[in-house]
Amino acid sequence: MPLDPKAPGAEAAAVEALARAAAAGDRAAFEPLVDRLAPGLHRFAARLLADPAEAEDVTQESFARLWKAIAAGPMSAPARPWLYRTARNLCVDRLRRRGRWLDEAAAPAETTADPAPSPEAATAAREASADLRKAIDALPERQRSALLLVHVEGLSGRETAAILDASEEAVESLLARARRSLRATLSAKESER
């Protein structure tokens, strides 16, 4: 996972420094912004859309809007949450057009690579991961977005609140509900076995 536990907030600070430099006309700051933000942004969009190719379009469109915002003058919000918010809105639009707002998105091909001590344990672990992945994809969009942004992308509760247009307390509630739901899924599957 991209989260760096030793430097919480450091990535956000580095991104904001680059965004300020870009807004000041420093052309050397533009491509590093792509390097730092594009992989996570694409990962987030791919998970929301369950479609890596469509997520590339969303990533490209989000960056095109970021460049326009930077060219227009000082940005009204920090660049990282601004970009994720733009990408999420684009994803939500696409999901609505698909008619899959509360979708059960197709799970990507399984690529779990954790070594397991025995074939039985490996099979059980793969099944548990597949079940949990389906449970994540079945979460309501706001719970899923909050979980992906905080757990996978390492954004803070405050940044996630800005992206979801919610309070930090509301984000905490979304996260707690998402995790309770996933824990219930795991418990149910374990009791079946």
Partner 1 sequence: MKDGIEPEIGAERFAALLEAYGAEPARWPEAERAAARRFEAAHPQTAEPLLAEARALDRAIDRALQAHAASALSPAARAALHRDARTSAPPPPRSLAARLAGWRPTEWMGGDWRPAGALAAALFLGLLGGTAAPTLVPFAPAEAVAADPTVEALAEDAALYLYGPGAALETPAAPDQTEATR
Contacts with partner 1 by CB under 8 A lie at: 1, 3-6, 8-9, 22, 25, 27, 30-31, 33-34, 38-39, 42-43, 46-47, 52, 55-56, 59-60, 63-64, 67, 70-71, 107-114, 125, 128-130, 132-133, 136, 147-148, 150-152, 154, 156-158, 168, 172-173, 175-176, 179-180, 182-183, 186
Nearer to partner 1, 96 or 180 (CB): 180
Least CB distance from residue 156 to partner 1, whole Å? 7
Q: Give the span between the Cα atoms of 50 and 134, in whole angstroms.
A: 11
Least CB distance from residue 97 to partner 1, whole Å? 21
Nearer to partner 1, 89 or 156 (CB): 156
Backbone angles phi, psi at 104, to 5 degrees: -105, 85
Least CB distance from residue 104 to partner 1, whole Å? 15
Buried residues in 92-103 as b, exposed as e (16+ CB within 10 A)? bebbeeeeeeee
Nearer to partner 1, 77 or 184 (CB): 184
DSSP alpha helix (H) spans, 50-192: 52-71, 79-98, 119-137, 141-147, 157-164, 168-192
Report whether 143 contacts 42 (CB < 8 A). no
Q: Give the span between the Cα atoms of 126 and 131, in whole angstroms.
A: 9
Nearer to partner 1, 100 or 127 (CB): 127
Least CB distance from residue 61 to partner 1, whole Å? 10
Q: Give the span between the Cα atoms of 176 and 53, in whole angstroms.
A: 31
Least CB distance from residue 37 to partner 1, whole Å? 10
Nearer to partner 1, 27 or 97 (CB): 27
Least CB distance from residue 29 to partner 1, whole Å? 8
Nearer to partner 1, 57 or 100 (CB): 57
Assign 124 to helix, strand or coil. helix
Count of all residues that appear for the chain in the document: 193
Q: Largest Cα–Cα distance of the chain, in whole Å?
A: 60
